[in-house]
């Protein structure tokens, strides 16, 4: 059994200090085996914002697996944006833009989908796909395989035109071959989840997508601050959305997925 916390879009520079403190408390209570951070750690990729994010992440006791988001690439400093887009991130958050975590039960790969040229949109390159393939194929065959990236693979129900990660189709083809079972993403600041096959009809493997809201930023989109708690236990995947109620984080939604007949079935 593994407990994973999925936090996203912290946007240091626009963080709410009370919510940020509340999240650390809730994470300490949950005591996850791994914390996945799916990008947008800063608001404007400023050094002070990266340092604040670093100090915050250092207060999380669990191991972390972190990928950047589009806000972690400089927007207005054109020289930095194109010549050294990830220098601030590498110097403060992590020098590894393709992080990988594995133990006897899970294999978790992070991919950097942020780009300089299409600042807001994201993409997966062919080289990144090949690395992901190697990472997952090198993991223990029975391990539960998880991808972490910033940009979404499926849109929310109310906005089917939402921009998805570039090359999603090709990436999903690779992910289903490698036996990936779960994708964790952010970017839209909205918490929702579903089976990737509901949007990508060509995909035959059932892969659950969990999108996280913004964990601690006041850049909310008609939703409270929230993050995801996941429990992976054999053929069962439980996803709790923990949202800020003004005083603390509490569960506002629970989805239970059971894996049977080759696919994830929602139990409730
Ligand atoms: Fe964001
Ligand atoms: Fe973003």
190-203, pLDDT tens digit by residue?
999 999 999 999 99
| Residue 214 CA, ligand 1 centroid: distance in Å | 7
Q: Which residues of 73-96 are buried (b: 16+ CB within 10 A; e: fewer)?
A: bbeeeeebbeeebbebbeebbbee
Predicted local confidence at residue 31, as pLDDT: 98
In a 3-state reduction of DSSP, which class is residue 155?
A: coil
Cα–Cα distance list, 95 to 12, 98, 153, 156, 220 (Å): 19, 9, 25, 32, 29
**Model confidence, pTM:** 0.96
User: Which domains, ranges and CATH numbers included, belong to the chain?
Assistant: 2-266 (3.60.21.10)
| Residue 152 CA, ligand 2 centroid: distance in Å | 10
Distance, in Å, from the CA atom of 141 to the CA atom of 122, rounded to the nearest integer, reads: 29
| Residue 234 CA, ligand 2 centroid: distance in Å | 32
In a 3-state reduction of DSSP, which class is residue 167?
A: coil
Q: Identify which of 9, 72, 82, 10 has the alpha carbon closest to the alpha carbon of residue 44.
A: 72
Predicted local confidence at residue 44, as pLDDT: 96
Q: Please, which residues have CB within 8 angstroms of residue 112's CB and are 6 or more apart in sequence?
A: 67, 68, 86, 97, 98, 128, 149, 150
As given in the structure block, the two tokens for residue 113 are 């989908």
| Residue 72 CA, ligand 2 centroid: distance in Å | 9
| Residue 211 CA, ligand 2 centroid: distance in Å | 12
| Residue 141 CA, ligand 2 centroid: distance in Å | 32
Residue 83 has pLDDT above 80, yes or no: no
Q: Cβ distance 242 to 35 under 8 Å?
A: no
Residue 29 has pLDDT above 80, yes or no: yes
Q: How confident is the model at residue 117 (pLDDT cuts 50, 70, 90)?
A: confident
Kindly state the average pLDDT of the residues 28-53: 98
Kindly state the average pLDDT of the residues 2-10: 98
Residue 39 has pLDDT above 80, yes or no: yes
Kindly state the average pLDDT of the residues 151-176: 96
Kindly state the average pLDDT of the residues 37-60: 98
- Which residues share a beta bridge with 240? 229, 254
Closest ligand relative to 152 C-alpha: 2
Distance, in Å, from the CA atom of 47 to the CA atom of 6, rounded to the nearest integer, reads: 24
| Residue 235 CA, ligand 2 centroid: distance in Å | 32
Closest ligand relative to 68 C-alpha: 2
Q: What percent of the chain has pLDDT over 90?
A: 88
- Helix-then-strand count for the chain, H and E: 6, 13
Kindly state the average pLDDT of the residues 143-170: 96
Distance, in Å, from the CA atom of 10 to the CA atom of 35, rounded to the nearest integer, reads: 13
Residue 266 has pLDDT above 90, yes or no: no
pLDDT in tens, 165-174: 999 999 999 9
Q: Which residues of 62-71 are buried (b: 16+ CB within 10 A; e: fewer)?
A: eebbbbbbbb
Closest ligand relative to 221 C-alpha: 1
Length of the chain equals 268
In a 3-state reduction of DSSP, which class is residue 107?
A: strand
DSSP code at position 25: H
Closest ligand relative to 150 C-alpha: 2
DSSP code at position 2: E
Q: Please, which residues have CB within 8 angstroms of residue 268's CB and are 6 or more apart in sequence?
A: 254, 255, 256
Predicted local confidence at residue 157, as pLDDT: 93
| Residue 140 CA, ligand 1 centroid: distance in Å | 33
User: Which residues have beta carbons under 5 A from ligand 2 (an ion)?
Assistant: 40, 69-70, 187
Kindly state the average pLDDT of the residues 241-266: 93
Cα–Cα distance list, 77 to 53, 83, 150 (Å): 20, 10, 22
Predicted local confidence at residue 268, as pLDDT: 59
| Residue 80 CA, ligand 1 centroid: distance in Å | 20
Mean pLDDT, rounded, of the chain = 95
Predicted local confidence at residue 81, as pLDDT: 72
Closest ligand relative to 162 C-alpha: 2
Kindly state the average pLDDT of the residues 63-77: 92
Residue 79 has pLDDT above 80, yes or no: no
What is the bridge-based pairing of β-strands 180-185 and 64-67?
unpaired
């Amino acid at each position: 059994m593994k407990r994973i916390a999925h936090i996203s879009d912290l946007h240091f520079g626009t963080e709410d200090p009370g919510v940020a403190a509340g999240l650390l408390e809730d994470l300490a209570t949950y005591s996850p085996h791994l914390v996945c951070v799916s990008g947008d750690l800063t608001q404007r990729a400023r050094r002070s914002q990266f340092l604040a994010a670093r100090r915050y992440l250092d207060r999380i006791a669990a191991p972390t697996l972190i990928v950047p988001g589009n806000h972690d690439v400089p927007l207005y400093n054109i020289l930095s944006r194109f010549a050294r887009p990830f220098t601030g991130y590498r110097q403060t958050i992590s020098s590894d833009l393709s992080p990988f975590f594995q133990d006897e039960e899970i294999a978790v790969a992070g991919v950097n989908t942020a780009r300089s040229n299409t600042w807001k949109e994201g993409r997966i390159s062919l080289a990144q796909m090949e690395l992901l393939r190697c990472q997952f194929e090198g993991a223990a065959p029975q391990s539960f395989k998880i991808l972490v990236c910033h940009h979404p693979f499926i849109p929310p129900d109310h906005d089917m035109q939402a921009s998805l990660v570039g090359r999603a189709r090709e990436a999903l083809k690779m992910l289903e071959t490698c036996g990936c079972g779960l994708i964790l993403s952010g970017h839209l600041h909205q918490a929702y989840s579903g089976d990737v096959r509901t949007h990508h009809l060509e995909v035959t493997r059932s892969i659950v997508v969990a999108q996280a809201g913004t964990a601690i930023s006041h850049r909310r989109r008609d939703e409270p601050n929230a993050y995801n708690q996941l429990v992976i236990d054999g053929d069962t995947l439980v996803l709790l959305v923990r949202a800020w109620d003004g005083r603390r984080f509490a569960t506002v939604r629970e989805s239970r997925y059971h894996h049977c007949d080759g696919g994830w079935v929602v139990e409730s």
